Amino acid sequence: MNDLRLPLKKEWFEMTKSGIKTEDYREITPYWANKLLTYFGEKQPKLFWEGYIINSDFNFKNLVFMNKIKIKNNIMTLGYPKSNDSERILKLEHKGIEIREGNPAWGAEQGKLYFVIKHGTLLT
């Protein structure tokens, strides 16, 4: 299992640290698909490279060939800190990834689909 490391801006880092913000959003793009999904062990999910259009009408439930990678923890950082800067690094339990709309109060655009990375308990 891998840890998922995600840099955050100060506002989102502080909300996550305080326990207010319990999920993080990443746009549905080839870059994030490569990081968050697999296609039967292949590196690049074919869905995003064969000209499919991803929009709010797309039925993700039919994509049985998409498997999520195994993630142990979410490592949230304030920017890009040095590895020993514990004030700017949070280690959170990973609670899964969904594809859905996010909370506009937490930085998501209204009506837009995202990879939603869910956080559990603060570990450090």
Q: DSSP E strands: which ranges in the chain?
A: 2-8, 23-27, 37-39, 66-68, 71-78, 89-101, 113-122
The model's pTM is 0.78
How confident is residue 38, by pLDDT bands cut at 50, 70 and 90?
low
Neighbours of 100 (CB within 10 A): 12
- Rg of the chain over Cα atoms, rounded to whole angstroms, equals 15
* Domain formed by 2-122, architecture: Roll (2.30)
Alpha helices, H only, the chain? 10-17, 30-36
**pLDDT value at 104 more than 80:** yes
| Domain positions in the chain | 2-122
Please state, in angstroms and rounded to a whole number, the distance separating the CA atoms of residues 78 and 8: 5
pLDDT, tens digit (0-9, with 9 covering 90-100), for 3-23: 999 999 999 999 999 999 999
